[in-house]
């Protein structure tokens, strides 16, 4: 009886699947891993513009120039680095998004084309784990936004007595704010990916209004833009050059995760070009505008408080000190609320959806994108991110340095699509585990891709150690400072060479974006929304041509 109960529980936890699906196929296939049906390809060009405006308006982007100015750059030199950095990274994002936009596949499935059906699991696992960790970290930052908003409404919140032990690493007030932000974020995870675009549109309207209001407010209070605007650079010659390189590379690293999993959002594009032209200008333009506002606001804060306060949340907290007026409290409430929306949006776009797609590929029998997003939220809560941020001064540096690993993955993926197979896909073979299929390689693993991937990491590994606090030679540091390009370029080059020595099935001579398996979109269009998981009994499997 107990065995039968266990089987019933397992069947209840499973996501919908075809009753005839083999055990092997259960390891690589569910509804969310199949090509997105036409009914869910709802993202137009303006949706991607809204997405990037929404995604770039967050605390990390706001503060990204602070480290540049602290290095000794002038404000305009730092702003140029932001322009150059995001202009450089945008083509990589668009290139890697293209397969998702053309064939309507998410990152874990696109990754199979280069790393193999089972070989892709390691890349997906890495990206999924980091998405869960970042979800917790971003939620912790969001909790500080909630604290400021609550202080604006009820100043006594700041004096809540602590009832938590020292070993917890936090206090009652801060944990309450963190938990409230965590709860606020949960409803956004529920919506399927093709519908969440509406949330980004709302944020695109609210957050620019809040940013402009914040800027005007600070300039008026400071009676000018402040001294940072007139502060010259303290660096010259090669020191200035390398400082600018490090600064623009920090912008690129800030977007490395979204470059890697770009197919996740591109898979919902109504047309391939919807995910192309809109992103080319939306990403660099939105990021530079947000950074400029951050520079001007922080410069004004130096005139107001005698020091540059780069964190907008810390600055808003300053405005609440010493019995502020009702107008000041309302202004702080509105702006802090916009940052809460911003942090929720960033967590959804960069973390929960990515984790959902990745965990779906790792455990397709039991997890879909929605369930994976909620798992990321639970992990983000249970990991107690405030302890990670406080206990290790190198933790955030490590998270940022992780772009070394992601750029190597992206290098292999781009080389595979544009040079090796030249846009040719065999969609049906993405769900096959038979010898002779395009993506089976050697027992489901493409060792060419892994050799290239490891090569891209090794060229940066010594400098990576330096980023986490070790003493390393200066040349290694310089190579690592260019880590996105060195990792991407090395892995792409090695992958190209290995494919010339050991050709793969499906290598093409002419670039043409086609599916040679003639996968039938009409079949996939009959699949229902994943929201109907509990009522749906089976899904459609791809047919071989």
Q: What is the mean pLDDT of residues 329-351?
A: 90
State the pTM of this model: 0.87
pLDDT of residue 527: 45
Higher-confidence position of 174 and 23:
174
pLDDT of residue 535: 37
Query: What pLDDT band is residue 309 in, cutting at 50, 70 and 90?
Result: confident
| Range in 187-191, 266-270, 327-331, 426-430 the model is least confident about | 187-191
Cβ pair 256, 292 in contact under 8 A = no
pLDDT higher than threshold 50 for residue 525: no
Query: What pLDDT band is residue 397 in, cutting at 50, 70 and 90?
Result: low
Pick the closest to residue 432 from 66, 168, 137, 116 (CA basis): 116
Tell me which fold the domain 40-410 belongs to.
Answer: Hydantoin permease (1.10.4160)
pLDDT of residue 20: 67
pLDDT higher than threshold 50 for residue 266: yes
Higher-confidence position of 3 and 529:
3
Cβ pair 266, 100 in contact under 8 A = yes
pLDDT of residue 234: 83
pLDDT higher than threshold 80 for residue 15: no
pLDDT in tens, 73-100: 888 999 999 999 999 999 999 999 999 9
pLDDT in tens, 350-382: 889 889 999 999 999 889 989 999 999 999 999
pLDDT of residue 544: 42
pLDDT of residue 542: 46
DSSP character string of 223-287: TSS-GGGGPPP---HHHHHHHHHHHHHHHHHHTHHHHHTHHHHHTTBSSGGGGTHHHHHHHHHHH
Mean pLDDT value across the chain: 86
pLDDT higher than threshold 50 for residue 528: no
Query: What pLDDT band is residue 471 in, cutting at 50, 70 and 90?
Result: confident
| Range in 7-21, 100-114, 287-301, 456-470 the model is least confident about | 7-21
pLDDT of residue 531: 38
Query: What pLDDT band is residue 543 in, cutting at 50, 70 and 90?
Result: very low
Q: How far apart are CA 422 and CA 430, in angstroms?
A: 17
pLDDT of residue 530: 40
Query: What pLDDT band is residue 396 in, cutting at 50, 70 and 90?
Result: low
| Range in 17-31, 51-65, 469-483, 501-515 the model is least confident about | 17-31
pLDDT of residue 539: 40
Higher-confidence position of 528 and 142:
142
| Range in 288-297, 382-391, 486-495 the model is least confident about | 382-391
pLDDT in tens, 219-249: 998 888 888 888 888 888 888 888 899 888 8
H helix or E strand, kind and range, residue 418: none
Q: Calculate helix-pair angle for 59-71, 326-347, nearest 10 degrees.
A: 100
- Phi/psi region, residue 343 (left: phi>0; alpha: psi -120 to 50; beta: rest), is alpha
Q: How far apart are CA 316 and CA 309, in angstroms?
A: 10
pLDDT in tens, 19-78: 666 667 777 888 889 999 999 999 999 889 988 887 888 888 888 888 888 888 888 999
| % of the chain beyond a pLDDT of 70 | 90
pLDDT higher than threshold 80 for residue 298: yes
pLDDT of residue 390: 67
How many residues are given for the chain?
Answer: 545
pLDDT higher than threshold 80 for residue 469: no
């Amino acid at each position: 009886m107990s065995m039968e109960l266990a089987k019933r529980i397992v069947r209840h936890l499973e996501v919908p699947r075809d009753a005839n699906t083999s055990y092997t196929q259960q390891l690589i296939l569910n509804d969310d891993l199949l090509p997105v049906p036409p009914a869910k390809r709802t993202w137009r060009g303006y949706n991607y513009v809204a997405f990037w405006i929404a995604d770039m308006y967050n605390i990390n982007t706001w503060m990204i120039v602070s480290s540049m100015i602290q290095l000794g750059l002038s404000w305009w030199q730092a702003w140029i680095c932001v322009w150059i950095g995001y202009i450089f990274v945008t083509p990589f994002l668009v290139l890697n998004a293209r397969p998702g936009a053309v064939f309507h596949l998410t990152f874990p499935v696109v990754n199979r084309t280069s790393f193999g059906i089972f070989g892709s699991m390691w890349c997906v696992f890495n990206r999924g784990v980091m998405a869960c960790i970042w979800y917790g970290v971003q939620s912790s930052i969001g909790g500080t936004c909630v604290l400021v908003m609550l202080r604006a409404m009820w100043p006594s919140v700041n004096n809540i007595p602590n009832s938590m032990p020292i070993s917890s690493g936090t206090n009652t007030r801060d944990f309450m704010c963190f938990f409230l932000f965590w709860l606020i974020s949960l409803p956004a995870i529920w919506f399927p990916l093709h519908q969440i675009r509406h949330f980004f549109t709302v944020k695109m309207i609210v957050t620019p209004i809040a940013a402009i209001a914040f800027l005007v407010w600070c300039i008026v209070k400071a009676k000018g833009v402040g001294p940072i605007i007139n502060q010259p650079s303290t660096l010259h010659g090669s020191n200035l050059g390398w400082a600018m390189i490090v600064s623009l590379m920090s912008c690129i690293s800030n977007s490395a995760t979204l470059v890697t999993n770009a197919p996740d959002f591109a898979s919902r594009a109504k047309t391939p070009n919807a995910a192309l032209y809109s992103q080319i200008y939306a990403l660099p333009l939105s990021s530079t505008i947000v950074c400029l506002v951050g520079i001007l606001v922080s410069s004004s804060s130096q005139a107001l408080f005698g020091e540059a306060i780069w964190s907008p949340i810390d600055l808003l907290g300053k405005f609440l000190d010493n019995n502020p007026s009702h107008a000041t409290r309302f202004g702080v409430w509105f702006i802090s609320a916009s940052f809460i929306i911003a942090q929720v949006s960033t967590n959804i776009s960069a973390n929960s959806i990515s984790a959902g797609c990745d965990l779906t590929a790792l455990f397709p029998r039991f997890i879909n994108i929605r369930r994976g997003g909620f798992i990321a939220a639970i992990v983000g809560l249970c990991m107690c991110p405030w302890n990670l941020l406080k206990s290790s001064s190198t933790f955030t540096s490590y998270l940022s340095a992780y772009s070394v690993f992601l750029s190597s993955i992206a290098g292999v993926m781009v080389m595979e699509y544009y040079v090796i197979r030249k846009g040719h896909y065999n969609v049906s073979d993405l769900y096959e585990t038979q010898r002779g299929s395009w993506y089976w390689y050697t027992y489901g693993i493409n060792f060419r891709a892994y050799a290239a991937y490891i090569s891209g990491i090794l060229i940066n590994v010594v400098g990576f150690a330096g980023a986490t606090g070790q003493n390393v030679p200066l040349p290694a540091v310089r190579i690592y400072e260019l880590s996105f390009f060195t990792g991407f370029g090395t892995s792409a080059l090695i992958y190209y060479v290995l494919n010339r020595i050991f050709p793969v099935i499906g290598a093409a001579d002419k670039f043409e974006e086609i599916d040679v398996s003639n996968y039938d979109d009409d079949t996939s269009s009959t699949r229902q929304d994943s929201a109907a998981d509990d009522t749906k009994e089976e899904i459609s499997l791809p047919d071989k041509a």
